[in-house]
Structure 1
Amino acid sequence: MNKLIVFMLIVIYSPCCSAQHKIKSPKIPSRLSFAGEKVPLENQDVWEQLDKELIVNQNYHSSTLLILKKMNRYKEKIVKILKENNIPEDFFYLAVAESSLKDKAASHAGAVGLWQFLQKTAGDYGLEVSDTVDERRDLEKSTRAACRYLHDSYKKFKNWTLVAASYNRGVRGIQEAIAKQKVDSYYKLYLNSETARYVFRILAFKLILTSPSDYNYEFDRSTSYPTYKYRVIKVDRSIEDLPDFSLKNNTTYKDIVLHNPWIKSGKYNLEVKEGKVYEILIPED
């Protein structure tokens, strides 16, 4: 036992180990904005909030590195849809904060997908959730639905930072906080702990993912996960046997559900409602 204790002390205090585990204070820029709106870093509370979120996410190595690797596969597609709908590009980082770019991300509260829609909200914004389909896990459809939600929120607040906060707290929750506290700035509102951190978490991801080397990530972009090329099959009638459908189209059931995460796995069939048309992506070699 004494030998084990001595060995552990040597490991902990050896120069090589201490160097490997050295944690640096995060770099905070002198100026920062979200969706074109100034972040008041001259306010000490704001500065500290951002500092805390950078410390957490800068040192959450495995998760952040996986996001960096997946960005190549997701960012261009999502940003393109945001721009088409006149939503500021910075809202891409909201999706990162919500789901870590996991198509099938699911919360304990029942929120699902890249944009973490609850089932009722998904229905309100035109996303289908059925026994065999969950369009909250469809990148394009869920992003377009998120754009509609964000626009509706902007009509109420006329401020993108408050829109981002409302994505976490709800429009009514932010409206009530503004009415009771008589201030209309996110940075001046006293909010529940999760929403108080929320925009700062988005900002932390923006900084880290834009300049990973500034936050101790030696990220080789050549190791990014590649994008895929697809052929598209339009389906307007139910498929009773997805594995059989896959083989007939020179692919596998595994590839079908991996590249079309909106199809619920384990069902082996796809119910198509009358008048509905789905696009199934088939990866090309």
Structure 2
Amino acid sequence: MRRYHLFIIYGLIAVLFLVVIIQNKQGIHSTVFGEEVTVEAADGQMMTFTIPEPKVRIFALPEEISFAGEPVPLHQSDVMERFEKEIYVNAYWQSNMILLMKRAGKFLPMIEKIFKEQGVPEDFKYLAMAESGLLNVVSPAGARGFWQFMPGTAKDYGLEVSNDVDERYHLEKSTLAAAKYLKAAFGKFGNWTSVAASYNMGIAGIGKRKEEQNQSDYYNLHLVEETSRYLFRILAFKEIFENPVNYGFDLSEDAIYKQPLFRELKVDQNIPNLAQWAIRHNSNYKELKIYNPWLRSSKLNVKKGKDYLIKLPID
């Protein structure tokens, strides 16, 4: 008799799972995952089960999406497939996405502020994620910082690159330089989608491909794989960040990293020893380097007529 009762119980559980699977295939977001289900056997025994989360889930992708106000032609099968690929690649790289979401709280507010002041669409903040993951990384070719400027391009857009100072690592100044580049590219192409692609391939590179293929639309160009994927990586970050719960991410506000309050110290004289200087200003070398990564040496030489603002956290 007990076997019969267990057979009934397991049968009910199987039915529940079947319903969940059918809902998932139909794009219905079921709410039963993680919920407890209690079943009473014929002998009065109560048994409680928890419906587990599925290990792999098929996402219901949006029917429409845009970049910088420009619609993405998802009705084109290859465009939809490229977008979908980047969604799954990034949504299922959960550790990277969680850390990126947490890290974004420290840096996106400043990026958004500068882009708004410069008249650059806010969607370009996701370009920094595609470039660097909001980390001061170094590419094999020597590009550095959030915006991955090469030394020559950095100097062209007003950034200092020297032994002591590399403003490619300066969030505000490098973001302003990126905004200048993006606006210059917009002046060339007249649409922001091509501007984003040019950040990966160069203004001349995208312009040449458009001319060779007699196409003005990025989505109709045949490009090398990196540039072909580039905008879709940006779109995937945008979609996941704007609809995180749809892709399994539900971070509380407390989980997001934040910058501390800063005090700014104006420096117009040489600093022969930055560690000692930091201690004199009630800080330390570690904090100095964390919050001023553009300081690339253990000292700072200041040219005549030049000055810098160094940030230190307020205790």
Asked if these proteins are the same fold (TM beyond 0.5), I'd say: yes
Give 1:111's match in structure 2, choosing from 133, 140, 143.
143
2:203 aligned residue: 171
1:99 aligned residue: 132
List gaps (5 residues or longer) in structure 1: 1-14
Alignment length (residue pairs): 266
Report the Cα distance in structure 1 between the residues aligned to 2:96 and 2:305, rounded to whole angstroms.
41
Matching of residue 54 in structure 1 with residue 87 in structure 2: yes
**Match runs of 1:1-285 below 5 Å:** 22-102=55-135, 104-264=136-296, 267-285=297-315
- Superimposed CA distance per residue, residues 218-240 of structure 1 (whole angstroms, 9 cap, x where no aligned partner): 32221111221011100112100
Does structure 2 conserve the Cα–Cα contact (< 8 Å) formed by 1:230 and 1:282?
yes
Q: Which moved more, 1:218-227 or 1:67-76?
A: 218-227
Q: Note the C-alpha offset of 1:217.
A: 1.5
> 4+ residue runs of structure 1 moved beyond 6 angstroms?
none
- Structure 1 residues 176 and 29 mapped into 2: Cα distance closer, same or farther (>3 Å)? same
What is the percent sequence identity of the aligned residues? Answer: 45
Does structure 2 conserve the Cα–Cα contact (< 8 Å) formed by 1:72 and 1:224?
yes
Does structure 2 conserve the Cα–Cα contact (< 8 Å) formed by 1:169 and 1:195?
yes
Q: Which has the larger radius of gyration?
A: 2
> What SS does the aligned partner of 2:236 have?
helix
Report the Cα distance in structure 1 between the residues aligned to 2:93 and 2:255, rounded to whole angstroms.
19
Please tell me the residue identity of whatever aligns with 2:300. Answer: L
- Superimposed CA distance per residue, residues 150-170 of structure 1 (whole angstroms, 9 cap, x where no aligned partner): 111111100100000000001
Q: Note the C-alpha offset of 1:23.
A: 1.8
Please tell me the residue identity of whatever aligns with 1:203. Answer: L
Report the Cα distance in structure 2 between the residues aligned to 1:139 and 1:146, rounded to whole angstroms.
10
Please tell me the residue identity of whatever aligns with 1:124. Answer: D
Report the Cα distance in structure 2 between the residues aligned to 1:222 and 1:169, rounded to whole angstroms.
38
* CA-based RMSD: 1.5
Please tell me the residue identity of whatever aligns with 2:131. Answer: E
Does structure 2 conserve the Cα–Cα contact (< 8 Å) formed by 1:26 and 1:51?
no
List gaps (5 residues or longer) in structure 2: 1-16, 18-33, 35-51
Task: Give the TM-score taking structure 1 as reference length.
Answer: 0.90
Please tell me the residue identity of whatever aligns with 1:58. Answer: A
Q: Note the C-alpha offset of 1:26.
A: 2.9
